[in-house]
Structure 1
Amino acid sequence: MIDRLGISFLCLLASSPILANDVNPSSSGSVISSSDDQVVIRVGGFYSNSNSSMDVTNPLLGKDFKIDFEKDLKLEESQFLPFFEMFYHFNERHSLYIDWKQLHRNAEVQAITTPFQVNFEDKIYDIQAGAKLKTTLNMDIARLGYGYNFYQGNNYNLGLSVGLHTMFIKTGFEGDIGACIQEQQNLTCDQQPLDKAVDESVTAPLPDVGIYGDYEFSPGFRFTAHAQFFYIKLDDLKGSLIDIRAGVEASITENWHMTAAFNYYEVDVDYAQKTNNGDVHVADYNLYYSFIGPMLSISYRF
């Protein structure tokens, strides 16, 4: 994922188009007739448990190990995350959609117990034992896609989605950080501390596919679900994304709806670090996020 394109790329990808087409007009107020187009805007949040890590190098032992952002660097494990979704439904069976999720965290550790080195933007930084360190780990995922309802009935829909997603990741360390200089096969680190080491990475737009559906089990109440998947293994990059959501949407008024759901969201990415001199090795860059928890949202249709 950490594609290091260094460009701010237009992002976006698919969230689940979960709306009824061709349903009884007296049912839930979510009717889309064959001649009507409809725009739906949904905002909400979910309280998640996050698990993230990064592979780094121990400069004393010369071995790689995994540093845990939550346990070792004290980032919050549980946090309320906002999200935004917008759908455009047209021609009865078709829809376009965009969504955005955000996870921004930072924390401070008074004394690092195990020294480590990281490679940010082709520069190697040294963090020694006992160092005071402030850590930032931000991730935004934007997605854009298309959905098609291939199976419809009076009170249900089933469809397929295809789209693109882009991930924006910022990893930063502030505090007692030393800069390292690479000379052929040797790596020497300056003991003069730097203020900050930051890595901002953007992935190229990556494809994913999914399936979604909804079923109106009672007037004004609809069960909705979707599952999306992505996997890539290319050169030095390997990554996957899993997004599964299931819940119940309730009609408040003709245009306003509320949804309570449970979401499982996982991003797992490995990126082989490269330095200017391939003989010097600094551990691969690994990020793993798992967002699991209930979510609540409200939507407006017009």
Structure 2
Amino acid sequence: MLKILGISFLCLLAACQTFAADNDLQDTASVKEVDSQVVLRVGGFYSNSNSSMNVTNPVLGEDFKIDFEKDLKLEESQFLPFFEMSYHFNERHSLYIDWKQLHRTADIQGITTPFQVNLEDKIYDIKAGAKLKTTLNMDIARLGYGYNFYQGNNYNLGLSVGLHTMFIKTGFEGDIGACIEQNLVIKCEQQLVHRAIDESVTAPLPDIGLYGDYEFSPGFRFTAHAQYFYIKLDDLKGSLIDIRAGIEAEITESWHMTAAFNYYEVDVEYSKKTHVGDVHVANYNLYYSFIGPMLSVSYHF
């Protein structure tokens, strides 16, 4: 899917270059060179996470939420990288793609509470005292378009619209037993499978935002943006908030450095169903947030 997003971005970029060239040929009143620029930005920041999943207690026959951080020992705070690429053309228009990742693994020597979980329509049994390695990975990719609706000699204000896709991978490795469903009754076998993996991808979801920048001194620019998204469907409910404000300094004509304060939050509830009676057996609740400083370096060409 990331390759598809990258190809889509390149196709959009090529289409915009063609559009800009056609406009230049059609402008017979005056000849004006169209400014275009590509910006590559990489950086990092620390995040705080709170993730859980609905599972079943086989002893009590009741559903409960297992906490990835408290029960399965995944790290709550972690340093994360991010990558952004933008293409600015025709003075007022821009395309952007960005990517963030949160990958975590943890080992636990003995599970205190047994549970059963459904991954990829298969039910797995994890008994008390079992050794377990847990993986929970989440990647967020966004592709969007921005338009500067208000401009001056040293400032811009624009509106952005885009799509973002979330890639979620959940995995358990260790003392894991396989189970089967028969007549709405779960029967667990003694056979160990050692590994259970579930990979889910959300459909591209829309977001909208505002952005702006102001050059208050030669080589120094104040930049800010705010993006928001909320959706509620049959099996998915989620929101995204991204607010950033900072100072960008021009080190050289091509290299810039940015120090910013960022508030970033993703809250997703995702329900999965079995084929038997459409029973919800694997409900994810993924919360990923960051409030604090972030640093990045960008290259302009």
Relative to the length of structure 1, the TM-score reads: 0.86
Please name the residue that 1:118 is paired with: 117
What amino acid is the match of 2:140? I
Moved more, 235-244 or 49-58: 49-58
Change (3 A) 1:205 1:9: farther
Is the Cα contact below 8 Å between 1:34 and 1:92 reproduced in 2?
Answer: no
Runs of 4+ residues over 3 Å off in structure 1: 11-14
In structure 1, stretches of 5+ residues that fail to align are: 1-6, 15-32
2:75 aligned counterpart, secondary structure:
coil
Please name the residue that 2:41 is paired with: 42
Please name the residue that 2:292 is paired with: 293
2:194 aligned counterpart, secondary structure:
strand
Change (3 A) 1:169 1:38: same
1:274 aligned counterpart, secondary structure:
coil
Is the Cα contact below 8 Å between 1:182 and 1:280 reproduced in 2?
Answer: no
1:51 aligned counterpart, secondary structure:
strand
1:218 Cα offset (Å): 2.3
Please name the residue that 1:143 is paired with: 142
- For residues 119 and 11 of structure 1, the distance between their equivalents in structure 2, rounded to whole angstroms, comes to 30
Identity of aligned residues (%): 82
Please name the residue that 2:223 is paired with: 224
Change (3 A) 1:279 1:96: closer
Moved more, 287-296 or 96-105: 287-296
- For residues 293 and 116 of structure 1, the distance between their equivalents in structure 2, rounded to whole angstroms, comes to 36
Matches within 5 A, 1:71-150: 71-150=70-149
- For residues 293 and 113 of structure 1, the distance between their equivalents in structure 2, rounded to whole angstroms, comes to 35
Q: Determine which structure has more spread, i.e. the larger CA radius of gyration.
A: 2
Please name the residue that 1:237 is paired with: 236
Moved more, 118-127 or 54-63: 54-63
1:281 Cα offset (Å): 5.1
Is the Cα contact below 8 Å between 2:47 and 2:288 reproduced in 1?
Answer: no
1:250 Cα offset (Å): 0.9
- For residues 91 and 279 of structure 1, the distance between their equivalents in structure 2, rounded to whole angstroms, comes to 51
Please name the residue that 1:70 is paired with: 69
Please name the residue that 1:10 is paired with: 4
Q: How many residues align?
A: 278
2:59 aligned counterpart, secondary structure:
coil
- For residues 152 and 281 of structure 1, the distance between their equivalents in structure 2, rounded to whole angstroms, comes to 51
What amino acid is the match of 1:38? Q
Is the Cα contact below 8 Å between 2:177 and 2:194 reproduced in 1?
Answer: no
Change (3 A) 1:54 1:281: closer
Change (3 A) 1:137 1:255: same
Is the Cα contact below 8 Å between 2:52 and 2:284 reproduced in 1?
Answer: no
What amino acid is the match of 1:89? H
Is the Cα contact below 8 Å between 1:102 and 1:140 reproduced in 2?
Answer: yes
Change (3 A) 1:217 1:63: farther
Please name the residue that 1:257 is paired with: 256
1:276 aligned counterpart, secondary structure:
coil
What amino acid is the match of 1:132? K
1:107 aligned counterpart, secondary structure:
strand
- For residues 271 and 168 of structure 2, the distance between their equivalents in structure 1, rounded to whole angstroms, comes to 16
Is the Cα contact below 8 Å between 1:34 and 1:91 reproduced in 2?
Answer: no
1:52 aligned counterpart, secondary structure:
strand
1:135 Cα offset (Å): 0.5
- For residues 4 and 282 of structure 2, the distance between their equivalents in structure 1, rounded to whole angstroms, comes to 30
Please name the residue that 2:22 is paired with: none
Please name the residue that 1:178 is paired with: 177
Is the Cα contact below 8 Å between 1:117 and 1:282 reproduced in 2?
Answer: no
Please name the residue that 2:23 is paired with: none
Change (3 A) 1:90 1:105: same
Give the alignment's Cα RMSD to 1 decimal. Answer: 2.1
- For residues 246 and 96 of structure 2, the distance between their equivalents in structure 1, rounded to whole angstroms, comes to 19
- For residues 59 and 95 of structure 1, the distance between their equivalents in structure 2, rounded to whole angstroms, comes to 54
Q: Quick one: higher RCO (CA 8 Å, sep 6+), 1 or 2? A: 1
Pick the structure with more helix per residue.
2
